[in-house]
Amino acid sequence: MLDPKLIREQPDKVKENIKKKFQEDKIALVDEWLEKDDKVRKLMQESQKLRHDRNSVTAEINKAKKEGQDTSELMEKAKQIPARIKEIEVEQEELAERIKEINYGLPNMIHESVPIGESDKDNVVREEIGEIKEFGFDVKSHVELGEELGVVDFDTSAKVSGKGFYYLKGDLARLNRALISFSRDYMIEQGYEYVEPPLMIREEVLKGVYSAEEIEEMSYKIEGEDLYLIATSEHPLIGMFVNKAINKEELPIKITGFSACFRKEIGSHGIDEKGLYRTHQFNKQEMVVVCEPEDSYKLYGEMMNHSKEIFKKLGLPIREIECCSGDLANLKAKSADLEVYSPRKKEYSEITSVTNMEEAQARRLNIKITDGKEKYFAHTLNNTAIATSRAMVAILENYQNEDGSVTVPEVLVPYMNGVEKIEKKN
């Protein structure tokens, strides 16, 4: 959500930003916004004049009564004014709703460092970390390995819950919990407060983080309730600050949250027929930051480094991808992904994503900073510390052995009570 003053005073700058996002069809929305904003301002002036006229007419009526004059004409004039004021208020409400709707649909102003490109094909590789392992045998997929080891069951889950769900069993289920505990402890060591949020969220908060289309495509609605299952703990975590003015001395606020997450995934990505990479339910450790505007890009870099350190410690080959302008979701001012290497596919796939929304999300949710004298909008950021299902895919494939076993990353062994290998049980 953009600053209305920016649209009003620098519409060409907003239009140029839209072009950089390759969303030219939205340029006309800027003109519509300006037209409706101007109409609202004129209606406000008319309303103020009518209220002034009403006071003047009331005074004239009182004077006429005292002088014994006929007041019928003045009374009729006075009667018409409230009706017109009411009409203006209704029109203003309708215009305000449309103005808000347009603003929600306009893309955030991208940061000057964002590379210009039309799609994810134009994203830029910033760094490659870790060595890609050479295997002397045919590499198996995580689905093959998991089923052969008896530690995952997709067929039964498909019968019980449908496509996009899974049963984790034995040491793989323990590995999942080890990843959660390891990433939680790491984030706490970095000064983040650990929070376990509610798994349901009201529509009011969800509209502050998702577009109407994203809500429809991603979110599970609770029938008969003003509640949705959360798609990430980021949403209820940032929801903690809705309509709040945070004392600047409390900033930056750093939170790490763990939760189960639920996504319909109706859009172009789809759901894995069988596998852990893209599912309807998964576990995720998230990080959320609320901060002063001048600190947000320093913290953006720190958050990306936290993700890198987690995967370095796991010993997985990764790379950082800078998202180009056309690949940025509307709320994002700057974003980058970490991708992990798949030795089976011989390609990288997204595993975490860091985002700076600057003040766009804070405007939607009315999250402000106060210094005791003035209030201004905060900057908000988020990043995935780890999505355990995708991390398990990477570990199964990168740590597999020729005999079909999977070596547990050294950093996770203490969280596995000393288990060093996932092996088939008799």
339: burial class by Cβ within 10 Å (0-12, 13-18, 19+)? Answer: buried
Distance CA 109, CA 94 (A): 26
Q: Is 315 left (phi over 0), alpha (psi -120 to 50) or beta?
A: left
Q: Which domains does the chain have, with CATH numbers?
A: 4-105 (1.10.287.40), 120-422 (3.30.930.10)
Distance CA 122, CA 240 (A): 36
Query: Which residue, among 404, 408, 405, has the nearest Cα to 417 in the 3D structure?
Result: 408
Which token pair is 310?
């987690």
283: burial class by Cβ within 10 Å (0-12, 13-18, 19+)? Answer: buried
What was the pLDDT predicted at 16? 96
Per DSSP (E only), the strands in 265-360 are 281-291, 318-322, 334-342, 347-356
What was the pLDDT predicted at 376? 96
Residue with tokens 């949020």: 197
- Residues 6+ away with beta carbon under 8 Å from 31: 11
Distance CA 192, CA 183 (A): 11
- How many angstroms separate the first and last alpha carbons of the chain? 57
For residue 373, CA distances in Å to 212, 369, 378 come to: 36, 10, 15
Residue by residue, pLDDT tens for the chain (426 residues) are 899 999 999 999 999 999 999 999 999 999 999 999 999 998 888 888 877 877 776 777 677 677 677 666 666 666 677 777 888 888 888 999 999 999 999 999 999 999 999 999 999 999 999 999 999 999 999 999 999 999 999 999 999 998 889 999 999 999 999 999 999 999 999 999 999 999 999 998 998 888 777 888 889 999 999 999 999 999 999 999 999 999 999 999 999 999 999 998 765 566 667 889 889 999 999 999 999 999 999 999 999 999 999 999 999 999 999 999 999 999 999 999 999 999 999 999 999 999 999 999 999 999 999 998 899 999 999 999 999 999 999 999 999 999 999 999 999 999 999 999 999 887
Distance CA 119, CA 323 (A): 9
Burial 301-321 (b: 16+ CB within 10 A, else e): ebbbebbbebbeebbbbbbbb
β-pairing, 167-168 with 347-356? unpaired
Task: Report the chain's C-alpha Rg in angstroms.
Answer: 28
What was the pLDDT predicted at 208? 83
- φ, ψ of residue 108 to 5 degrees: the values are -60, 155
Looking at residue 225, the DSSP 8-state letter turns out to be S
What was the pLDDT predicted at 73? 67
